[in-house]
Amino acid sequence: MCPENDTPQDAQWYEAQRWLWHQRRHARPGADIWHLRFHWQTENERLWRLVQEGAYRLTPMKIYRRADGEGLAQWTSPDALVLKWCALHIDNRLPVHERCEHRRGNGGYVASVRKVREALATEAYRYVFRTDIRGYYRHIRKKQLWLQVSRFVTDRRLLPLLEQYLWYSVEDGGEFRTPEKGIPKGCSLSPLMGASLLYHIDCGFSHREGIYYARYMDDFLILTKTRWQLRRCIAQLNDSLDVSGFEQHPDKTYIGRITRGFDWLEAWFEPGAAGLAPRSLRLHRERCLRLYEQACRQGLTHEESMTRVHDYRKRWLIHAGKLLP
């Protein structure tokens, strides 16, 4: 069942291990990652054997409650390891269009913002349509995604794991449920699945002449030269989303002239001006306030709470600086 170019504990397996160690390096005491790391010598062989035999079974995701009551769903550490290994193996097997700009190796949000700025510098476009899908991950149709996956992935080790991933279960305080729609947001497979599922939309717009098109996960940006082009593009996108069971998010949709300004991936675009989007600045201020309040509730002093906020601001400023010209 193993491909000829695979060997026991292949490169992807060890890359997944390093990724997991790094992702959960700050896990709370008693978290299962520490058990896995302590017993890695034996668990490594056992998990690998189960995966190769097609006998590995994912456990339900567990809901953990934060101090503010918000729930966070998380895979067990062994499950996260196996799913990351799957993601590394199918990375180049599922179709992902070059205009899907969050795809691996495409430069990420910084490159996407730069490309938009370069397109606007040509002064060829007058109108903008910017939107995203309301609850994209939550509304993905499992059977539709499974048809896409099973068409391009034939490895018999991967398919059972991918099927379990799609029809995942969640445990919340002893209650179990299996969502009828959607895929888990906190999973290394999900960005790749989300990128590939809308491949047909990317293809449709990439063949249109006289427009600029970009997608970043479920965010869409279209620049056109004429109002007629804009209307046609809006109708085309709406039709494509409707067929797949999606709809635009009304609060995150903007249609109008470029001269009025618009946001894309936290950056603000306006003739003669460049900066961060007002929404991005507002969310940053709210995040700083929440961090301070959480630190105070945990018993930290004012100085300690402000240190935590300053550390976050330093990281945010580095991120924000990459969006500026």
pLDDT of 86-101, one tens digit each? 999 998 899 999 889 8
On whether both 290 and 173 belong to a single domain, the answer is no
On whether both 232 and 289 belong to a single domain, the answer is no
On whether both 245 and 130 belong to a single domain, the answer is yes
On whether both 206 and 298 belong to a single domain, the answer is no
pLDDT digit string, tens, across residues 30-71: 999 999 999 999 999 999 999 999 999 999 999 887 766 677
The mean per-residue pLDDT over the stretch 111-140 comes to 94
On whether both 15 and 157 belong to a single domain, the answer is yes
Contacts with 306 (C-beta within 8 Å, 6 or more apart), sequence order: 292
> Which helix (H) or strand (E) segment is 156 a member of?
none
On whether both 44 and 81 belong to a single domain, the answer is yes
pTM, entire model: 0.86
Q: pLDDT-based confidence at 17, cuts 50/70/90?
A: very high
Helix, coil or strand: residue 160: helix
The pLDDT, as a whole number, for residue 4 is: 39
Other CB atoms within a 10 A radius of the CB of residue 220 amount to: 24
In the predicted structure, residue 312 carries a pLDDT above the cut 50: yes
Residue at 4 is within a domain: no
Phi, psi angles (nearest 5°) of residue 105: 85, 5
Q: Which of 254, 273, 292 is the last residue before a domain boundary?
A: 273
On whether both 84 and 15 belong to a single domain, the answer is yes
Q: What beta strand segments (E) does 112-178 contain? A: 127-132, 170-172, 175-177
Tell me the HSE value of 91 on the side-chain side, using a 13 A CA sphere: 13
On whether both 46 and 161 belong to a single domain, the answer is yes
Q: What angle do CA 250, 240, 160 make, to 5 degrees?
A: 105
The pLDDT, as a whole number, for residue 273 is: 75
On whether both 210 and 303 belong to a single domain, the answer is no
Residue at 1 is within a domain: no
Residue at 152 is within a domain: yes
On whether both 119 and 15 belong to a single domain, the answer is no
CA dist 180 and 169 (Å) reads 10
Count of structural domains, the chain: 3
On whether both 80 and 217 belong to a single domain, the answer is no
Q: Hey, what are 160's tokens?
A: 């059972």
State the residue range of the domain holding 121.
108-135+195-273
Residue at 305 is within a domain: yes
The pLDDT, as a whole number, for residue 67 is: 63
Write the DSSP string, 2-28: --TT--SS-HHHHHHHHHHHHHTTTPP
In the predicted structure, residue 1 carries a pLDDT above the cut 50: no
CATH (domain of 265)? 3.30.70.270
